Amino acid sequence: MILGIVTRSGRALPGLPRFGVQNVHRAAALIGVILVVVHMLALLADPYAQLKLVDFVFPFLSDYRAFWLGLGTLAFDILFAVSLTGLLRNLIGSRTFRLVHWSAYALWPIAFAHGLGNGTDSRHTWFLAIAIGSAVAVTGAVLWRLRTDFVEYSTLRLAEGT
Amino acid sequence: MTTESTYAGLLAACSPDLATHTALHGHYPRSSRGTLIRLLADAGLHGKGGAAFSTARKLDSVTGRRVVVIANGSEGEPLSDKDAVLLERAPHLVLDGLQLVAHECGSGETYLYAGSQQLHFLRNALQERRTAGLTEPLVTLVASPKTFISGETSAVVGTIEGRAPIPRDRSVHSTVAGLKGRPTVVHNVETLAHIALIARYGPEWFRTRGLGDASGTTLITLSGDVTVSGVVEIQMGIPLDQLVTQYARTDTPSIRAVLVGGFHGGWIDAQDLPTTTMTTTALVTVGASLGAGVIHVLGHARCGLKTSADIVEYLADQSARQCGPCINGMPRLARALSEIAYRSGSVHTQESIRYLADLVEGRGACKHPDGAVRLVRSSLHVFQHDLRMHAAGACEVNTRMGAAS
Amino acid sequence: MSTKSPKVLHIDWTTCEGRGLCTELLPTLLTRDEWGYPLPHDRRREPHIPAELETDAQRAVKLCPRASLRVLSGQDR
């Protein structure tokens, strides 16, 4: 999430040029998607979870902890769409890309809630520490995103559009 | 073909109706496909919309099926009136030209893009043609907004497609893929009128209408410090001093400079008027252009730098605001020139203006900044002396007027 | 006789937001103006891409976050 926001700013990071930020963002996103898929496959194989294939696509249909699981499914649906726009970046128009890719901002809190609600380790301190740390970092990045001087050079440029 | 002795001029018709048109120029000249391009190549006709591109070459570059032909009469140039006058006085010449080009390209779908005021005359003309049986091809009238940039080729295509009237990024020429991806050819309405006449009287006739090596005639709009203003048909190749004395009835001693082409054109110093002819090559050599056929005279009572600065401010304001260098660079360029023109002791110099001009040139989806740069460079050259005076807090105008009284 | 036509870099100015990735990947071809937008060293509308930079140019095309770049054949330019 943070790397995506930094990418949008057009800024470099210490030791990482702009094209590097872009590449790391894409790599990290890809790794994230793979981890989620592993997580889903593991659940499929888990007899205790009792999940059907349809539960991985359509949210809120399962029997076991329907709401929190549904959030997870919903998060994956959004992740799928966001990843698709990322991969097909050069083929789809910029308006379509922005519209769908922006749903990443919805993706994160939904996935976060799913992790807290469904997680088997959500009582443990280490898990909560990671969760709070992530929340603080992402919230900080989003607040930074909302600043008017967020985009590099924005203070030196005139606004676009009539 | 009609005999040339009956030809009276592009704007000769006393009334825009079909009967007058037919009586004056004869019936619509039918020809077989393939002959028009040859006629136009032999005639040496160049586009009258600003780029002055060879009309035959443009038509030749159109290949493919389902070609679209667009007549562009939007005339975004504030100092130009010729397209409006032509559409109101001789709509049938334009429509003949449009039909001829459509037939040559095998096109069944054409558009005419002009201001809503002019479309009124075209609606009547189309109705007359329908009644007379000249119905093919389909002509769709599209109203153009009153902005400077709305006449740019991709902006024209965009507006007709129902999108914003601003230029688009083009990696492929519109003659290959334009309106809805189809091969599209856009001609200025005056170019089409000339085509209609060349098809009747022949290329040789057109060639002899010009002076010297130049071919044909062209419409210009006279404005500024002149005795006679308005739209007039002149011979290509005419020396500029003869142009202003004969048509604007203005003595050259009363002139400081002439803006030729329009806001994307260039200034010609009064002393260069006799040696500069109304041809593409001659004008480009002195940093001007044929452009939209604008002849705007600057007398001794007006400051050339102030006039130029006002033009560049307008051009900056008319930016489509899509491209970074234009959005940011054009206002800076305008402000730099305005400061030198209007305020004494400005921090801006010729060098800073040239730097900004170099920065915006060639960086944008269309040639809007390039046209502005042409104007800026020519004003720095022609009003060189005035620049020095402005830097010292004075102005050529005060000196001249002071000396005169 | 070489049959390879020279390549040029086409910038879609209507979508370019001057993020500067291309200027990092093609420093010998592009620099940045004071507003951050790419400025070709050769000041052409579509800068020529020398053969040795073709791979870097393709990389820039893929990485541009606004998909504003294209490598075109220089034939009619």
Identity at B256, one-letter amino acid code: R
Phi, psi of C27 (to 5 degrees): -65, -25
Residue of C nearest to A18 (CA): C21
Of residues B379, A152, B119, the one with CA closest to residue C35: A152
Q: Does residue B143 belong to the interface with chain A, where contact is any CB pair within 8 Å? A: no
Three state DSSP letters for B223-274: EECCCCCEEEEEECCCEHHHHHHHCCCCCHHHEEEEEECCCCCEEEEHHHCC
Closest CA to A162 of B75, B147, B169: B147
Name residue B38's beta-bridge partners.
none
ipTM for the predicted complex: 0.92
Binning pLDDT at 50, 70 and 90, where does residue A2 land? very high
Under 8 Å between Cβ of A117 and A68: yes
| pLDDT string in tens for chain B (405-residue length) | 444 455 668 998 889 999 999 998 988 888 788 899 999 999 999 999 998 899 999 999 998 889 999 999 999 999 999 999 999 999 999 999 999 999 999 999 999 999 999 999 999 999 999 999 886 789 999 999 999 999 999 999 999 999 999 999 988 889 999 999 999 999 999 999 999 999 999 999 999 999 988 999 999 999 999 999 999 999 999 999 999 999 999 999 999 999 999 999 999 999 999 999 999 889 988 888 899 999 999 999 999 999 999 999 999 999 999 999 999 999 999 999 999 999 876 777 889 999 999 999 999 999 999 999 999 999 999 999 999 999 888 899 987 665 544
Strand C69-73 with C7-11, pairing = antiparallel
Give the pTM.
0.91
Distance from CA of A84 to the nearest CA of B (A): 25
Q: How many CB atoms lie within 10 A of CB B278?
A: 25
Please count the residue pairs, one from chain A and one from chain C, whose beta carbons lie less than 8 angstroms apart. Answer: 43
pLDDT tens per residue across span A111-145: 999 988 887 777 888 888 999 999 999 999 999 99
Strand partners, B282: none
Determine the residue among C15, C17, C33 to mutate to test chain A binding: the one whose Cβ has the most chain A Cβ atoms within 10 Å. C17
Look at residues C19, C22, B320 and name the one whose alpha carbon lies nearest to residue A153.
C19
CB A75 within 8 A of CB A107: yes
Instruction: Give, in words, the CATH class of B4-208.
Output: alpha beta
- At position A120, the amino acid (one-letter code) is T
Taking residue B394's Cβ as centre, other Cβ atoms within 10 Å add up to 13
B207-218 pLDDT tens trace: 999 998 899 999
Q: Which residue in the set B169, B358, B359 is minimally distant from C13, CB to CB?
A: B169
How far lies B224's CA from each of B247, B276, B282, B397, in Å?
13, 19, 22, 16
CA distances from A26 to A1, A134, C62 (A): 11, 19, 12
Q: With b meaning 16 or more CB within 10 Å and e meaning fewer, what string describes B356-367?
A: bbebbbbbbbbb
The domain locations on chain C are 49-77
- Which partners does chain C have (≥3 C-beta pairs < 8 Å)? A, B
- A158–B322 CB contact, under 8 Å: no
Closest residue of chain B to A159, computed from CA coordinates: B327
Contacts of A4 (CB under 8 A, 6+ apart): A25, A29, A104
Q: Which residues contact B157 (CB under 8 A, 6 or more apart)?
A: B70, B168, B174, B178, B179, B184, B186
| CATH architecture classification, B210-299 | Roll (3.10)
CATH no. for B304-404: 1.20.1440.230
CA A49, A53, A54, A55 torsion: positive or negative?
positive
Q: In chain B, where are the structural domains located?
A: 4-208, 210-299, 304-404
Cβ separation C39–B359 shorter than 8 A: yes
Q: Which residue carries 């006789």 as its tokens? A: C1
The alpha-helical segments, DSSP class H, found in C4-53 are 21-25
Contact predicate A47/A56, CB 8 Å: no
Q: Locate the DSSP E strands across B64-183.
A: 68-73, 109-114, 138-143
